[in-house]
Amino acid sequence: MAKQSKKAFIGIDLGGTNIQAGILGADGQLAVRGSLKTKADGGTDTVIARIRKLVERLILDGGLKPEAIGGLGIGAPGAIDPHTGMVLNAPNLRWTRFPLGKTLEKNVQMPVVVDNDVNAGAWGEYLAGAGRGFDNMLAVFVGTGIGGGLVLNGKLYYGHYHSAGEIGHTTLDANGVLGRRTLENLASRTNIANLLRQLIEANHPSVVSEMTGGDLSKIRSKVLAGAIRRKDPLTLRVVEDAAGYLGVAIANVVTLLSLPCVVVGGGVTEALGRSWVQQIRRTFEQHVFPAELSKCRVVASRLGDDAGIIGAALLAQAKLSE
């Protein structure tokens, strides 16, 4: 670990829809926080201008002098080269080979560190969240997709093509009736929602019909959470199945990497809460090898939505203080 910095760092979580940002004070607390729509349709110039606008607003809101800020970290969705700050491919933003780090440095007049958004979230949970103190850990974020980040021996692990952590694309059901299925095909919000929709359309009763006003294309995490609060049997079954697949996939990673800690986050986890993580943990314990590894902590994210922002700021702090 780099030595404690006396400066503040800006953290940005760049998504396809929203740019979320915050300033992490020298005390390790998120001092100010804000967001803007990404407007990715406008192209890279538009997005860069909006990031700059948001950064300027945060600095103003925080009452910080430029010299008090050590730099900016940004997590972007997709394939990133963390060494050059290049976004290799980001389908959500429709960017290919865009030099995000260099472009942003010119625009915000401070050093910039770029990483994958999921890696930033994993780093945040490792240094300031539920993974604190565990030098080997996996963070899994369950939302419209399923992403993962690995900290091994106290460092983010990137692998040869910088693509490490893709637990969502591991195969869990090599013999599926409908062909092989990956974790993402089985347990992402997209697939939970699709399965619920199909079951409801096949006349399985569910409060979700009423909750969505019959528009089953709108099954978001909040709807799932509401249906579970109302103990809707169909939703409970579909969500428990998804938790089971997550438990198996996490057990596979822990078995392979002998990990003492797994942090589960993302929109679905935030919405479904503790009981969902407990379901994941139950299946995990049945599958992990050797038995000793059932002691591995499988816990909910502590930073929630802020993991990406805090992690990006902490990545900048670590890399710029090296």
Q: Does 214 bind a copy of itself (CB under 8 A)?
A: no
**What is the rounded distance in angstroms from the CA atom of residue 308 to the CA atom of residue 122?**
8
Question: Does residue 290 have a cis peptide bond before it, meaning omega lies within 30 degrees of 0?
Answer: yes
**What is the rounded distance in angstroms from the CA atom of residue 316 to the CA atom of residue 12?**
10
Q: Does 133 bind a copy of itself (CB under 8 A)?
A: no
Q: Which one of the spans 52-60, 63-71, 139-147, 161-169 is the region binding a copy of itself (CB under 8 A)?
A: 161-169
Min. distance of Cβ 140 from a copy of itself in angstroms? Answer: 11
Bridge pairing between strands 181-182 and 171-173: antiparallel
The radius of gyration of the chain from alpha carbons, rounded to an integer in Å, stands at 20
**What is the rounded distance in angstroms from the CA atom of residue 285 to the CA atom of residue 277?**
12
Min. distance of Cβ 285 from a copy of itself in angstroms? Answer: 13
Among 317, 310, 308, 318, smallest CA distance to 117 is for 308
Q: Does 285 bind a copy of itself (CB under 8 A)?
A: no
Element (H, E) at 244: helix 233-257
Q: Does 162 bind a copy of itself (CB under 8 A)?
A: yes
Q: Region of 63 please: left (phi>0), alpha (psi -120 to 50) or beta.
A: left
Q: Does 160 bind a copy of itself (CB under 8 A)?
A: yes
Angstrom distances, CA of residue 164 to CA of 112, 150, 156, 271? 22, 7, 9, 27
Which of 25, 31, 68, 166 is the binder for a copy of itself (CB under 8 A)? 166
- Cβ distance to a copy of itself smaller for residue 101 or 147: 147
Residue 159 in contact with residue 152, Cβ under 8 Å? no
- Cβ distance to a copy of itself smaller for residue 68 or 152: 152
What is the three-class DSSP state of 153? coil
Min. distance of Cβ 293 from a copy of itself in angstroms? Answer: 6
Q: Does 275 bind a copy of itself (CB under 8 A)?
A: no
Min. distance of Cβ 205 from a copy of itself in angstroms? Answer: 25
Among 238, 206, 211, 232, smallest CA distance to 222 is for 211
Which of 161, 202, 203, 215 is the binder for a copy of itself (CB under 8 A)? 161
Q: Does 172 bind a copy of itself (CB under 8 A)?
A: yes
Which of 44, 170, 190, 321 is the binder for a copy of itself (CB under 8 A)? 170
- Name which of residues 241 to 270 contact a copy of itself (CB under 8 A): 244-245, 248, 251-253, 255-260
Which of 7, 68, 99, 157 is the binder for a copy of itself (CB under 8 A)? 157
Residue 156 in contact with residue 150, Cβ under 8 Å? yes
Residue 191 in contact with residue 146, Cβ under 8 Å? no
- Cβ distance to a copy of itself smaller for residue 41 or 161: 161
Q: Does 118 bind a copy of itself (CB under 8 A)?
A: no
What secondary structure does DSSP assign to 23-89, as a single string? EE-TTSSEEEEEEEE--GGGHHHHHHHHHHHHHHHHHHHHT--GGGEEEEEEEESSEEETTTTEEEE
Q: Does 65 bind a copy of itself (CB under 8 A)?
A: no
Q: Which one of the spans 51-59, 151-159, 211-219, 228-236 is the region binding a copy of itself (CB under 8 A)?
A: 151-159
Q: Does 148 bind a copy of itself (CB under 8 A)?
A: yes
Min. distance of Cβ 152 from a copy of itself in angstroms? Answer: 6
What is the three-class DSSP state of 15? coil
Q: Does 63 bind a copy of itself (CB under 8 A)?
A: no
Q: Which residues bind a copy of itself (CB under 8 A)?
A: 79, 134, 136, 148, 150, 152-153, 157-167, 169-176, 180, 182, 244-245, 248, 251-253, 255-260, 287, 289-290, 292-293, 296
